[in-house]
Structures are given as structure tokens and as C-alpha cells.
Structure 1
Amino acid sequence: MLIRSFLICVVFITNAVAQTSVNKGDREGHDMTPPIAEDAIPPAPILSVAEALASMQVQKGFVLENVASEPLVQSPVAITFDGNGRIWVAEMITFMPDLDGNNEEVPEGNIVILDDTDGDGKIDKRTVFLSDVILPRSISLVKGGILYADINKLYFAEVLENDTLGIREVVDETYAQGGSVEHKPNAMMYSLDNWYYNAKSDKKYKTLPLTAEVPSNAEEVYRNQYWKMVRAVTDRRGQWGLSMDDYGRLFHNGNSSPAQGEFLLPGSLMKNPGFQRSVKANNIGSTRVYPARINPGVNRAYLPSTLVSEGENKGKLKNFTAASGNTVYRGEQFPKQFYGVSFTPEPAGNLITVRDIIEEKGKLSGREIYPKSEIVASTDERFRPVNLYTAPDGSLYIVDMYHGVIQHKEFLTTYLREQSEARELDKHNSSMGRIYRLRWADNALSKKPSLLHQGPSSWIAHIDASNGWFRDIARQLIVQNEQYGFTEELIKIATKSNDHRGRINALWALEGLQALTGDIILAALKDPHSKVVTAAIELSTRLPSREHSKIAKQLLNLAPKDYETALHIALVAGEIEHPDALLALKTVIETYEHEPWIREAAISGLTGKEKTFKGLINGHASSEFLAMLDSVGEVKVEKTNILNLSGNAQQSYNRGKQLFETSAACFGCHGKNGEGIDGMGPQLVNSEWVEKSPERLVKVLLHGLMGPITVSGKQYNLPMVMPGLARNLDDQQLADVATYIRNNWGNQSSVIEAGFVKQMRENTQSRQMPFTEKDFQ
């Protein structure tokens, strides 16, 4: 149950042979003839650690080493390091123990602590902290204990002396509720802004002192003796795994999109209730992969678009299909050119890729560092890297589930079942697991940390450390243990550290302690590094209004400086209570209006001041921008058309909503709000594919759709293929889904009847492949 992004859920399409089958991934009428002859496929035996290391192809200069293996670690899916460098591991022991997934949801998953007690760089001690978790999927540190999630809920587990369990309580009943097991939240990553963010979710969480005021945009969901937890809405993002760069920008993936980065901080365009926009993520490099072995054991390998069809690479996976927990490397052990690059594992292709992250005006992009090869690639079919982390020693840690089958039963095809049985990939899948370390051969590893043993004085010393892991853990310890203060020390680092990353980290630590002042922000606004300046602009909104006058004057001075500065001023100007702030925004619009994100940023930050600003900017801005200002809070789009439907149609709509969010799994690619997910699926809102031709829509629902396609003037050429649902849903269910998407999110179209779906099913029963756009031209 590993979240579709690291499952071998290739293309998320679901096709099937015309034969009778019990496999849920099969689709009616599809030919699943194996593309590779059985005698041409190499075996996939269980390898020892030494044999597994020998199977790895690693780029020159790097060394791959084993840190832990079975029985010390079993079926690991996520880890976190505590302040003493110990590894806390979520072990998904019961995931797909066989090809039918029998007894998956029994409470036998583990949370374990792995420790290197003799300092030789290898784990030698395993402590089972919890042994009764149902499919654990995320684990994070928090004051007093840990946060972890099972298949449905988020929990707090108190850690007492000698690593014994104290209280264990539910923090959020709804954390991972609903949907299929491949579409559930995960990560709970503590970010630069002191919130916990998740993949596959639009919720964020934050711990606050028990007496602290709850932010206006959040709600309290839990409290204990240490802190209270608040929850708020953020942008929906990602599938499995989450990471950030030094500036708090989030990076994630879709199963066919190895890395996606957000140019703006999370929630930047969600400030104005009358003008909600999501921050669309940018793809970091292409979707191509270059495996070391052939890959017939992926769920849709029989599709022509999945494997290379000829030449020396015949049978190898073409594109990402199971991208997992990528990370932005922020350690100091690799050469400097690797700092800040993106690493992504592909368990279906048994490899790890690496891409440069390129920052351009208003967007991020990327390129492969090793063209037509990967930084790590294995000939071992059981090598399943599912998560990556910058480690305290400065290296990159690789979580290898070492599991023969990573496709969940909900999407397993007869083809993959036969592939798995032929090489016994369904055997021994609950007792294996490895954690590796990728390091640069010529550089030493940092010593194991001891921040918890050394105490609070050591935390402040690491706020501006060169390793991003140390900066993150130091900030979290300081913020979540606010009783120790450190305000004066943090101010000194924020103004005098030689490392701009440390200055930014100290500023956000002060924000977490609610200790920012106008003088601190004013000093940061004059910093020589642009990233410190933009951080200070964002943080200026945390100041009380009595401090705004001096900040507004400086924003006015900075407004014409450059695009990046102007963009961040646009995001906050409306929140600064002084006339100079709107004058600064006026300068931004006059100078940069037509640059990326400027209009949206300005309106997002203008809540309640749109008319005032229009009077100020009239004659100095485009008619398009003035119209956008007029539209805030005025255009009332009927999000749902259900009240205009008949009684029977309303029932169909409600059934379709349930299917959309559960067994049909539509929201996994198109999002719950129908706006689409970059790298995964196009929008359903205002889409001609949804609203115009009922016949075309039903045909696509029955048999699927392959790109490229054009939706609302935008071309999508995704390697993923939309699944056909002919076998999984009956005529009434398909009619319900169609009725729901045609009458939600502002769509207002006719209902679809079951009889119409039946007719389309009969008319297309000989269809062998998903439709293409050309089929309807």
C-alpha cells in the first residue's frame, strides 16, 4: 500500500486481456501478450547485501555502502534522524505479502529505532518502539516523541526514558482517510516555515505552545502536555515523499514525474479568500530513465509506450512510472556542484536519477547530470529504492524496501501476476530491507551528531551549519522547545553569519519563537544576498502593525530593484498597514506587471484592499489586471450544479462523487478540485473533454486515453495513460462518475444515463487500446 508514486503502478492505466481474470488491474479487451520472451528475461533471485552491491552501477567518484539490512531492518518505507543521529524507521511489513495482498491490514507494521553504537558507520542495534501499526506511511520528530501515520490516522507517540512508549493518541482522525491505499497522504516533513507539510494532501500542521493564539487560517485539532497541534489548508501536491530547498520551496513528484518544484513558498497564492490560486509545480528535467536491466516486470510493460521496443536497450523502461520520495541534496559530503540538486528513486526501474535544479524567472526547470545514464542503477530486480534523505554525516541515505512486488493489488494486472510468479517475486516479501549510503569516495563523513545529549547550547551552534540537515534539526529543536529562548543568539546569527543560508534559518527560527521585530526585519531587508531579502519580505507580515511603517518605506525603496524582489513585495504589500506599501506595489505593477506571477501575487496579498489599490493604479496598469481586481469576490462560480439537477440525477451525482474519490481513483491524477495535477492529469474544470461530447467522455471513461491531448488550449503529453474503467465499473457507476464531473467545479452539463453508457460499451467492445485525440477528430 505504498502510495502510487513509488508503486510500480506504471502509467496508472489499467488494461486487460479478453480472458476471464480476477486481477483488479485488468481491463476488458486488452492484449497483454508479454513483450519479452520468457527465456530472454534474467532471473531475480534474492541477493545478499554483498551481491546486491555488486549489482549496482554507480557513477565515478561515488561509493555505495550498506548501512543496515535484514534482520535489523525490514520493509522500510520512510525514515527520520533524531538529534543523536539515530534512524527512526517506518516498516510496512504487511504490504503485499503475496499477490492477493492477503492480511495486509493487520496491525503488524513497526516503528523501529536503528543505532550505530560503536561509531563504525553501520547499524548494530535495533529497538522496536511500536509493533502494532497498520501499514505505517510516515514518521516525523516532534517535542516529546514522534508523529506517525498509519493507513488512516495521524498519531502522537510519547517517547519516555529508555525509548519506552508513553501516551499514544490520535492527532488527526482524517489524516489519511478515504481513497485507495495508493492515494493517501504521507511525509509530515518539517519545513523552513515551521509547518509540517505532506505529499498527496492539501493539509499542513503546526505545533504551538499551549497558550499561543491559533492563527486565523487554522484550527486546533489536538493538544497534549507539551503542545497543541493546529491544521490549515495548503496547496495539494505530490504523491510519495517530499523535500525542500534551502529557501523553503517544496519539491515532490508524481509517479511519472520524477521531480517537481514550486517556485513560490507554499500557500503564496492562497492568501486572498476571493482569489484562490494554486502554485503550479515545474518539472525538473525529463521523464526518461536509463535502467541497467530490462524491465518486463512493470504493470503495463505490454503497452508499446512502456518499454524500449528495439536496439541494444530493448526491453528497458522508457520513462518514470513509479517515481518515489525524491530529495534535494543539502549535505556537504559531495562535491560542491551536487549541493542543491534533485535525486529521485525509480523502484520500477531499479535506479536513482539526479538532476540539476535551474532557477529562471518565475519558474524552475532541470537537466540530467548524467545524460542517458543514472547515478545508481541495479541489475537486481528486487532493488526498490522508495525514499532518499540528506543524512547527518553529509551523505545521501537510500531506503530500499527490497520487495519483489510493489504494485498494489488494486491495480495488479494478470500480466504482472504472471511475471511475478515466473521469477518468484511474490516470495519472501515481509522480511527483507536495506538502507544504503551514497557518498563521495574522497571526502570524509561527518561524525555522528549528539545534539540531544549535548543539550540546547549545541542547537544554536548548528543554526548556520553547512549541512542542511543540521540547520533543520537545530531550528526545530529551538522552536519546539521555546522555553530555552536563544533570541539574542539568533539575532546575531541572522545579521552576522557568513552563510546566507544560516541567516535565513535564524530568521525563521525567530519567527517560530514569535520573536521577530521591525529592526530585525529591516536589517535583513538590507542584506547583500537576495534570498535573505526575499525571506525578510515574507517574514515582514509576521510583525505587528505598529512596526509596519519602517518596513513599508524600505519596501518602497526596494520595489524597482529586480524581478525577484518585486514578486515578493507583491505577495505581501497588501498585508503591510501603511500607505507606502501600496505605493511599493504600484511601482511593482508599473514595472513588472507582465512578468510571471506578478498579477496573481499582487491580488493574493491585497485581501480587502482591491478597490483602494485599483483607484491608485488606474491608468498605470493593463485593462486585464484591472478586470482581475474587479473579479475578486465578485464572480460567484457555482462550484456544484447539484441543486439544478433532478432528484435521481442528484443521487447519481452523489454516488459519482464517492466513486471519484475512492475506487475510481480519479482525484489521484486530476485532483479533488478538478484543476488537474501537473505531470499527472489535465484539468476537468472548463474542459471540452468533460463538458462537450457525452459520447467522447464515456468512451474515454470506458477505455482510457493516451496523450498528447489538448485541454482548454493547453497541450498535455504525459507518459501516463488515463485508465479505462470498463471492467472495474458497471454502466451505472460510470454514468454516476460522468454526471459528477460534468456538474461540479463550475461545470454545468447534462447528466449521463446508464443506458447511454451501455450503448457506448456495446459500440466499442472490440476496442483494443486506449483512445487518442486523433480518434475523435
Structure 2
Amino acid sequence: MKFSTFLLCGFLSMNIFAQSGDRKGHVMTDPIPADKIPPAPVLEVSDAMKTIKVQNDFALDLVAGDNLVINPVTMVFDPDGRMWVCEMNTLMPNVDGENEEVSKNNIVVLEDTDGDGQLDKRTVFLNDLMLPRAISFVPGGILYADHTQLYFCEVLPGLKAGLQEVADKDYAKGGSLEHKPNSMLYALDNWYYNSKSSDSYRALPLDAKLPRNSKEIYKNKFFKLVKRKSDNRGQWGLSMDDFGRLYHNGNSSPITGEYLRPNSLLKNPDFSVKVGSARIGGNGVYSARINPGINRAYMKGVLTAEGKLKNFTAASGSTVYRGDQFPEKYYGMAVTPEPAGNLISARYIIEKPGSLSGKEVFPKSEILNSIDERFRPVNLFTAPDGSLYILDIYHGILQHKVFVTTYLRKQMLARGLDKGNNDRGRIYRLRSTQKGLGKQPKLSGLSAVELVNYLNHPNGWWRDTTRQQIVFKGDKTAVPAINKLIEKAGDYRGVINALWTLEGLGAVNLQAVRAGLKHDHVKVRVNALAVSEYLSDSEKNTFKAELTEYTKTTNYEEALQILMLGSDFFSGQDYQVLVDLANKFQGKKYIKESLLSGLGKDYKNFADFAKLLKDKGTQKTYVQVGKKKVLSNYNKLNKNDKALFNKGKELYFGHANCFGCHGPDAEGLPNMGPPLVKSEWVNDSKERLAKVMLHGLYGPITVNKKKYNTPMPMPGLGANPMFKDKDLAAIATFIRNHFGNKSGAVSESVFKKVRKDTSSRSTPYEVKELQ
């Protein structure tokens, strides 16, 4: 049960007698007698709100009801606080998902015209869309994504749509509905990042120089759009903290976070390393109602003895709360919806050098819980008024058609969960009762200079939006005011935002960098070092001596950032500075990676220098650097096996969705799936691999002497009529002969024999059974 776009994972097949999510041999015994399961009627908003309980000192308000929004999945606030919402109002219209992929979905603008805190006006900005999944602002309009592509749409006065063009035809290419990119978060570094994607984007002035390792993919009269590779992250939804670090969900786990800013270790195109992400807190949840309507609730360990969901199984669009309306102790907490459990969970983020972790804010409880089975919170956002906004698709069916089991189909029909789904939706506001709401923003009419003061606002939404607006205006007359804000050395959050506003304007200057380095907060100093990469060449030359002196630091975070600067400041004999700094923190997490990434394309020159030091016995540590290639054994296969390989490649990145858990490079994804690269489970016994692919696998698994403990079992494909034995042989052949693996092809006959020999298998294998 793997959740991404608030939909659980599976494979395509529609059969009213056996569902595509069924696993051969699974005994789908109802875990709870039917007469013990409470009904799940469609509730009007007033009644639905009575089913929701929040923690003491919090209150829940309705912001928009069924008359204003239908099945909201993601959104963005504009500079005046209006909500631009993507509606998936054709999502699973019935239990079989018939007529879902039709162009009848919308992007709507919701606004509060009388200032009473409740939305009262709906404007359909775009209609006839196919399952929209991402939206963000750019100069002159919006970027949005549908089921397959990324588009630009010009916004004209009166909320009219102007020019519409495809900006990236490959944005959501391949995969099924729940395994496609989404979000388009405008991050601190002024790049757009996505969940379920390894691409990032940036909107630049038409005359701007292309950033390192990027390429131009689209241009209009307002901007040019560039694209570059990023780390593959998340499943559905994306958020960030005050330091620009990204947070997302990993399948059946709560929010996960990255210790470094995105792309920190991607400077060197010939050195590949994954930042990875850490789970923020445990996997347990505390539901208020029994939860039999979960795809595999019949399996042991999914529900508690009372019939309540035990662990996350549908983690959705999480956020890091950065508002100013909750009490201070909640600032920066991670908040995650669990739509299968009808709840929202909160965790404190705990940071230590090189790592993130978390703990429950409300031990053995949740910040919000509902006993309404149709309450489906799928995305969360810090709002301009400082509160937390909740998007509720209010949908009886949560599981997507490609995964539905016969058990779940029965559950849905028994309680009428297939009815009343595509004409409703709710947006709620979770607020503290200890403080009033903030004011409605009116930022669109302000000049760049007038906007600067808002960079220091206590609410993260205001800071982020202000930075974006100043960057979009491209007005460098604001630079003196921004420098002044940095020099005041006030709230660290405002200073960090100001530094990256200068980067967005192409106006990073030595005055600002020096001022940032004097701040008493280490995160400000780290970000001042980070933006020094964008100084002019002449100012870099001036700053080099100061940076060299700064390498004497004893602070781990500053050392990481200096190493990431690498070739921007050091070359030749000056490499000694980097060697000394790396040696000082030898063995600490990300030190080696930061050094090698920071060298950029100068890694060969550094390698020669480092070898010389090693030969002289003056270097404590030497790391070989070089280009990492995706090695393929394709050319050594015969004609028939090459055909299998090609078919397997198509399936791996297509309908089989293998890349969704194991990654497009097969090196695994955090909290999702282990690596296939050099995996003994892939390259050793063909028969064992066939057993796993046919019937699935669960339990902690060791690959290359490293232990992986993913939250949910790997599903088998054997019972899915979409995949024949030849298809499975093709996938096996591809993964055994790509990504550096070279173990030869697997024939269709292997799968036929294993299928016959294991026909009585009723559950996924436990790892120890196959060792």
C-alpha cells in the first residue's frame, strides 16, 4: 500500500471479479465484522466539522466548502492572498475509475472579497484540464502541470488566461497517475523543485547567463525557463524550512527531510552522490476511528487489535509550519496528513550535525483527528494569516483503481464510498485560539523597494512571497535596502531570505556577504558563504583572502559550505586550503562529498594535486574522483535477449513503475526501496529473483552488506494479468544487465517454472525464507 498522489500504488487491470491489486493466495478475511463498522455517509460541511477533533488551544475553521471547491489537491497563494487551486474533480468517479482520464478538471482562484476570513468568490481560471498536479507563479503568469506536461499560461487583468504554451513536454512523462512529478515548489535558492522528480527549473531574465549544468527548454516574452538535474525526491507534495532544505514524504512513511539544501552536491557533473533524506519521527499513527477501508487491512500488522490503522500507509502533502499564528514552540514543526487514517500528524524536527530526526509533538496522539471516513486531507500549507490550511478532497475512494483489491472493493461498495465523490471538497484553517489571525496581504502593487521590509516578516509565507516578487520584478534599485537589512543583523530568517533575494536579482555583493558573515547565527553565516559563489569575478578575487582565513573555522556547517565552494575560489597550490579543511573534519558526514562536488569540473586538476601530496606523504586522505557512468551489458547480449532488455527497460520506467521505489538509477530511494545496483538479490539466483518478482518480499533486507528496512512489502506481479511471464523475464533481463549489473538474461521459461513450482504461495516471501 504505497501512497503518492494521495493514491496507493498498483498496476492497471479492470476486472469486476478479480481486482488488479489482488495478490494470488492472499486470504482476504474481513478483519472486522461488518456489523461493527460504522457507516460513512456523505456529510454536509457543518456535520463533517463535528467529526473532527483538534488538540487543546487549537480551533478549526471552514475556509471554503463544496460550493467553492471540488476535490482540491494542491494550491499556491498569490501576493494578495488569493488561492490558486488545482482540482482533480474526475478522480476515481466510481469504484472502477471509469472516465477518470478526461479533460474536465480545473484550476480555480478562490478569494475573500469582504475580509471576513472566509472565501466567498470562485473564478475558474482554466478548465478542461487533465488531472492537474502542480502550480506555481512565474513572471507574467503561472506554470502548471497536467497528467503529462508542464505549461505556461499568461495571467491577464481580470483573472483571464492569455498565452498558453507547453513549457516542458517531458515533465510528467511515463508512469501511472500516482508516480508522476508534482508540486513545483519555489525554493529559497530561487529554483523550482518537484516531488517524484529528478528535475529542477528556473525562470530567468531573457538576457541572463545559463546557470551551471543547466539547459534552456522554453522562452516567452517574460522569461526563459531552464532545467537541470536534481536529486530524485518524494512522492506527493513538497515543503521547505527556513534554510531552504526540502521535506517530502516517502511512500508509507511520514515526512522526510534533507540535511543539505537541494543540489548542494551536484556541482561536479562527473561525481554522483545522493544527499538522501531522513524520516522525521516514527511511523506510528493514532486514529480516532476503526479503519477497515484500507487496501490490505486484512493483512496482519496493518491494523491494531481495535481495528485502527497502525502505521502510515498514505502519507501525503506534508509541510514545515513556518507561520506566526501558532505558539512559538510549534514553529518549524513537521506536519503530515494521513488520509487513509483520516488524521493529521505533527512532529518536531531535531537537528544534529549531519543528520535530521524527529519526535511526536503530541505523544500517542495527533494534532487533528476525524471519525468521518471521507475526510481525506491531502495537502497542507502555511497561510498568509499565519495559520495552517488543509486541503480535503472529501472523497470516499482513496485507493486508485490500479491498486484496488477485491477486499477493498467490497468495503467501498458496502458503505457507499463510491458515491458523492466528485462534487465536493473542503479547505479548512487550523489556528491557535491564543492569538488572532494575521492580515490579508496586498503585495502585488508594491515596488521592489517597498517590498524589502517584508523580507523580515515573522511568517515564512510573507518572506518567501516577497523574495519571489522582488526577483520577478528584477529591479536592482532595491539592492541598497536589502544590503541595509542584512547589515542590521536582525532576525536570522529575514537575513537569510535577503541574501537569496540578492542571488535572485543577480546582485550578490561583497558588502552583503561580509555583513552576513558577522551574524551570530551559524545558518546566516553558512548562507552568506553559499551566495558568495555568485559574486562578480573581481569581488571573488578580493574575497578569496578573507575566505582562506575563514577556513580556520572549527564549525562543521561552515566547513561543509566552504568545501562546496571549492573551485569557485581555489585552484593550483591553493587546493591545499581545501585539503587541510577536509582533513580537519575527516570522517564527518558529507565532508568528502562536499569536497568532491565543490571541485566542479576542476576535479581532474585537484586529483593530480592530491596524488602529488600523497606521494610526498603530506596528505592524510585521498579520494579518487572520476566520472560515474551508467554501465550497460546490452552489447554483450544476443539478438533475442536484447529485445527482452529493451522491453524490460520500457516496463521498468513505464507500467511496472519499478523506478518509483528503486529510483531511475536503480540505486534505491529512501524509505521506499533498496538498490538494484550490484544487488545479490538481482544478480545471483535467477530463480530467487523470479520468486520475488512473482510473489513479493517483505522484512528488513540486506543488500551489499547494508540493511534496508522499508515500511511496506514489495508487491508481487504474478497475479496481475497485465504482466505475462515474458514481461517479467524482460524486466529481470534489464535490471540484471544495466546500472553496472552484467549477469545475463533471464528466459521466460524460468518464470513459467517458478510460477508452477510456487503456485500454492499465498503471501509475499519473508526475506529469511529466500536466504
Q: Using the alignment, how far apart are the partners of 1:8 and 1:454 within structure 2?
A: 41
Q: Using the alignment, how far apart are the partners of 2:528 and 2:242 within structure 1?
A: 14
For 2:352, the equivalent position in structure 1 comes to 360
- 1:164-195 CA-to-partner distances (Å, cap 9, x unmatched) read 11111111111101111110000001000000
The alignment covers a number of residue pairs equal to 762
Matched, 1:682 2:681: no
For 1:539, the equivalent position in structure 2 comes to 531
Give the C-alpha shift of residue 638 in structure 1. 5.3
| Aligned partner of residue 477 in structure 1, secondary structure | helix
Show the 5 A alignment for 1:196-207: 196-207=192-203
Matched, 1:771 2:765: yes
Q: Using the alignment, how far apart are the partners of 1:687 and 1:731 within structure 2?
A: 22
Aligned-residue CA RMSD in angstroms? 1.9
For 2:95, the equivalent position in structure 1 comes to 99
Q: Using the alignment, how far apart are the partners of 2:293 and 2:164 within structure 1?
A: 40
Give the C-alpha shift of residue 335 in structure 1. 0.7
For 2:521, the equivalent position in structure 1 comes to 529
Matched, 1:739 2:733: yes
Cα–Cα, structure 1 residues 496 and 399, in superposed 2: closer, same or farther, change >3 Å?
same
Q: Using the alignment, how far apart are the partners of 2:745 and 2:346 within structure 1?
A: 47
Cα–Cα, structure 1 residues 106 and 597, in superposed 2: closer, same or farther, change >3 Å?
same
Give the C-alpha shift of residue 15 in structure 1. 14
Matched, 1:271 2:267: yes
Give the C-alpha shift of residue 396 in structure 1. 0.4
Matched, 1:514 2:506: yes
Q: Using the alignment, how far apart are the partners of 1:701 and 1:327 within structure 2?
A: 35
CA contact (8 A) 1:87 1:114 kept: yes
For 2:146, give the aligned amino acid.
D
| Aligned partner of residue 387 in structure 1, secondary structure | strand
Q: Using the alignment, how far apart are the partners of 2:450 and 2:613 within structure 1?
A: 51
Q: Using the alignment, how far apart are the partners of 2:318 and 2:254 within structure 1?
A: 7
| Aligned partner of residue 466 in structure 1, secondary structure | coil
Structure 2 segments unaligned to the other structure (5+ residues): none
Cα–Cα, structure 1 residues 466 and 3, in superposed 2: closer, same or farther, change >3 Å?
farther
Residues 590-599 or 381-390, more deviating: 590-599
| Aligned partner of residue 57 in structure 1, secondary structure | strand
CA contact (8 A) 2:696 2:715 kept: yes
| Aligned partner of residue 151 in structure 2, secondary structure | strand
Give the C-alpha shift of residue 432 in structure 1. 0.7
Q: Using the alignment, how far apart are the partners of 2:322 and 2:742 within structure 1?
A: 48
For 1:274, give the aligned amino acid.
D
- 1:399-453 CA-to-partner distances (Å, cap 9, x unmatched) read 0000111211111111111100011111111111000001100101001111114
Q: Using the alignment, how far apart are the partners of 1:61 and 1:698 within structure 2?
A: 55
Cα–Cα, structure 1 residues 675 and 29, in superposed 2: closer, same or farther, change >3 Å?
same
- 1:599-657 CA-to-partner distances (Å, cap 9, x unmatched) read 111111123232254157534544xx41x23x423xx6552111111111111011001
For 1:481, give the aligned amino acid.
K
Give the C-alpha shift of residue 118 in structure 1. 0.8
Cα–Cα, structure 1 residues 103 and 15, in superposed 2: closer, same or farther, change >3 Å?
closer
Give the C-alpha shift of residue 20 in structure 1. 8.6
Matched, 1:193 2:189: yes
Percentage of pairs with the same residue: 50
Matched, 1:68 2:64: yes
| Aligned partner of residue 462 in structure 1, secondary structure | helix
Matched, 1:287 2:280: no
Give the C-alpha shift of residue 109 in structure 1. 0.4
For 1:684, give the aligned amino acid.
L
Q: Which residue of 355, 379, 382 corresponds with 1:387?
A: 379
Q: Using the alignment, how far apart are the partners of 2:465 and 2:134 within structure 1?
A: 17
Q: Which residue of 156, 160, 172 corresponds with 1:160?
A: 156
Q: Using the alignment, how far apart are the partners of 1:557 and 1:52 within structure 2?
A: 62
| Aligned partner of residue 419 in structure 2, secondary structure | coil
Matched, 1:703 2:695: yes
For 2:324, the equivalent position in structure 1 comes to 332
Q: Using the alignment, how far apart are the partners of 1:394 and 1:386 within structure 2?
A: 20
Cα–Cα, structure 1 residues 741 and 393, in superposed 2: closer, same or farther, change >3 Å?
same
Q: Using the alignment, how far apart are the partners of 2:65 and 2:422 within structure 1?
A: 13
| Aligned partner of residue 91 in structure 2, secondary structure | coil
Q: Using the alignment, how far apart are the partners of 2:447 and 2:520 within structure 1?
A: 33
Q: Using the alignment, how far apart are the partners of 1:87 and 1:617 within structure 2?
A: 58
| Aligned partner of residue 463 in structure 1, secondary structure | helix
CA contact (8 A) 2:11 2:656 kept: no
Show the 5 A alignment for 1:388-403: 388-403=380-395
CA contact (8 A) 1:545 1:577 kept: no
For 1:569, the equivalent position in structure 2 comes to 562
CA contact (8 A) 1:3 1:182 kept: no
Q: Using the alignment, how far apart are the partners of 1:278 and 1:343 within structure 2?
A: 25
| Aligned partner of residue 124 in structure 2, secondary structure | strand
For 2:483, the equivalent position in structure 1 comes to 491
CA contact (8 A) 1:6 1:346 kept: no
Q: Using the alignment, how far apart are the partners of 1:91 and 1:563 within structure 2?
A: 45
For 1:480, the equivalent position in structure 2 comes to 472
- Runs of 4 or more, structure 1, over 6 Å off, are 13-16
Give the C-alpha shift of residue 295 in structure 1. 0.8
- 1:566-623 CA-to-partner distances (Å, cap 9, x unmatched) read 111111123214668634322322210111111111111123232254157534544x
CA contact (8 A) 1:341 1:355 kept: yes
CA contact (8 A) 1:186 1:198 kept: yes
Matched, 1:317 2:336: no
Q: Using the alignment, how far apart are the partners of 1:569 and 1:455 within structure 2?
A: 35
Give the C-alpha shift of residue 13 in structure 1. 7.1
Residues 421-430 or 612-621, more deviating: 612-621
Q: Using the alignment, how far apart are the partners of 2:355 and 2:26 within structure 1?
A: 40
| Aligned partner of residue 439 in structure 2, secondary structure | coil
For 1:352, give the aligned amino acid.
I
Structure 1 segments unaligned to the other structure (5+ residues): none
CA contact (8 A) 1:297 1:416 kept: yes
Q: Using the alignment, how far apart are the partners of 2:654 and 2:284 within structure 1?
A: 30
- 1:279-317 CA-to-partner distances (Å, cap 9, x unmatched) read 111111111111111111011111112111x2xxx1111
Give the C-alpha shift of residue 561 in structure 1. 2.1
